[in-house]
Amino acid sequence: MSNNLGDYLRALRGKESLRSVSDRIGGRLSHSYISDLEKGLSRRGTPIKPTPEALKALSEAYDVSYEKLMMMAGYIDKSANDDVKQTANSKSDKIETIAAHIDDDVTDEQMDEILNYIDFIKHKHSKKD
């Protein structure tokens, strides 16, 4: 498993506890297994690759694309997907990335600043068009 997948899973989880994620998916994955996946290593220190079933459970838990997780884990060759599909997913992937960086520590004032910046960027680019 690439470290990118582990980092991505950790970002998606945010401040939520590992036990909470495990509970939300009906215990299909233990909290310790989810932790191992985020680290990319088993408790024995050997590289770990999630099963497709584990990726399916995590895609449901985090409401993210199962296909993306399968690609990140190396089950699906990125080049095998057509360009149209990748373009369609790229915007949603960016939205997921932005959302993963906003957690419970963001104050109302910071959230307002983020939203104002988004509006600024949208208006800045709409004036150029």
Q: What is the domain partition of the chain in residue ranges?
A: 3-128
Q: Taking Cα atoms as reference points, which of 36, 102, 25 lies closest to residue 63? A: 25
Report pLDDT for 98.
Answer: 74
> Domain 3-128 is classified in which CATH homologous superfamily?
lambda repressor-like DNA-binding domains (1.10.260.40)
Q: Of all residues in the chain, what percent are helix, strand and coil, respectively (each to 5)?
A: 65, 0, 30
Report pLDDT for 62.
Answer: 93
Cα distance between residue 50 and residue 56, in whole Å: 10
Cβ of 94: how many Cβ atoms within 10 Å?
10
> Taking the model in full, what pTM does it have?
0.60
Report pLDDT for 95.
Answer: 75
Report pLDDT for 2.
Answer: 46
Report pLDDT for 96.
Answer: 72
Cα distance between residue 88 and residue 83, in whole Å: 9
Residues 69/5, Cβ–Cβ less than 8 Å: yes
pLDDT along the chain (129 residues), means of 10: 81 94 94 95 91 94 92 81 54 73 75 82 70
Report pLDDT for 27.
Answer: 92
